Every structure is written in C-alpha cells, then in structure tokens.
Amino acid sequence: MLDFLKSTVGRKYIMGISGLVWMGFVLTHMAGNMLILVSPDLYNAYGHAIVSNKLVLYGAESVLVLALIVHVTTAISLTIENRKAKGTRYAVNPNGDKGPTLASQTMGLQGSLVLAFIITHLATFKYGKEYETVVNGVPMRDLHRLVVELFQQPGYVLWYVVALIVLMFHLSHGAHSIFQSFGFLERKMVKGVRKFAWAYAIIVAAGFLSQPLYVYLLKGN
C-alpha cells in the first residue's frame, strides 16, 4: 500500500482526493457566503453558528489544512518528477482527451496564486478586525461590516477578482483531472466531463465574485 501511495499513480490519487475535499469546501463556502446578498443579520448569524460549534469547526479546519498540505506537497513532487523526465512528449490519450492545455501547463502558477489568495483571505477575514453586533439578543462578530469595509477598497476587489478567475481555471482543470486520476474518464465521457468541470468552476467563481461586486457597486459610498 505504501509503495502504491509513493508511485506516480498513487500520488495522483492523493492529489484527486485532497482536491475533492477542497472542491466540496469551496462550493459550500460560496453558498453560505451568498447570505450577504440577503441580510446582514442572517450573514452574521451564519458565521456565528459556524464558529460557535468548536468541535465541528476545529475538525473541519484540521481536515482542510491536512488536505491542503498533502495537495501542495504532492503537486510539487509530481512537478519535479515530470521536469526530470526529459525527452517525453504529450500524446493523445486513449480516452480521446488531447494533450496539455494552457490551464494544465500553468497549474503550478495557478496553485501558487490560489495559495496566496487563501493566506490573504484568512488574514483579512478570519483573523481580521473584530467588530461586534447583536442579532436577536445574541452578541456576535459583525463579519458583515468587515466584508463591506474590505470590498469598498478598489485594490482589494481587483485582487479578489483576479484570484477568483485564476481559481476558476484551477478548479476546472482539477475537476476534469480527478476523473482521469481515478480512471473514470472514457472517450465517450470526455466532452461531458469537461462541461461538468467548467460548469462547477464557473458556478463557484461567479458565486464568490457576486459578493465583492455587490458590495462595491451597490453598497459603496
């Protein structure tokens, strides 16, 4: 088992599993954050409910951190291995999926930008300013105020938009690659899987993008 996990195929499986963990998280995170379009109190209550359940919070954070570390380190090891393999060319796969794309060739750069985005996102939101509000008699962090404050800054909105566009391409290629890594991608499935991957990536990116654009364009001073 250990030998398999160390092999190229095994590490691609690891990449796929760790990627799935984050794909599930960003989709649910995006959906929850859409509450900012509904009501400040509802958005703050949602955030408060998450941080109030310490067992679930710390458990989820531990899984995400572990998955991220595994994903990044495995990606680096596979990239180094690929670069050492000289004289090889990409060929048409038996399943009909043709050669490398721009997205696949820039996955390292995309991943680096996404990692930078995650770090800045945590620094500004999770560990950002602590405002307080009261919802239905319950004191809680006023996350809505912090979000509005940040998304009224043109520079931050621009960085957020660029990072999410990069994330969209990263998710699209990643979702498509998971089917390949797990051996589920047959010739007849290629077009459908590619459409699914793009649909997923666009939905996630559009959902996240709607939040800073809504705040900046409609709630700005």
pLDDT by 10s per residue, the chain, length 221: 777 767 777 888 888 899 999 999 999 999 999 999 999 999 999 999 999 999 999 999 999 999 999 999 998 888 888 777 754 443 444 444 555 566 666 777 888 899 999 999 999 999 989 999 999 999 999 999 999 999 999 999 999 999 999 999 999 988 888 877 776 666 677 788 889 999 999 999 999 999 999 999 987 55
Handedness of CA 87, 92, 94, 95 (dihedral sign): positive
Q: Fold for 2-218, please state it.
A: 3 helical TM bundles of succinate and fumarate reductases (1.20.1300)
Residue 96: predicted pLDDT: 47
State the pLDDT at residue 65. Answer: 96
Instruction: Give, for 53, the enclosing helix (H) or strand (E).
Output: none
- Predicted structure pTM score: 0.83
Q: Please name the residues in contact with 150: beta carbons below 8 A apart, sequence gap of 6 or more.
A: 124, 125, 128, 156
Domain boundaries, the chain: 2-218
Q: Which residues pair with 135 in a beta bridge?
A: 138
Sign of CA dihedral 125, 26, 15, 63: positive
CA atoms within 13 A on the CB side of 91: 5
Q: What is the pLDDT of residue 154?
A: 94
Cα–Cα distance, 130 to 145 (Å, whole number): 10
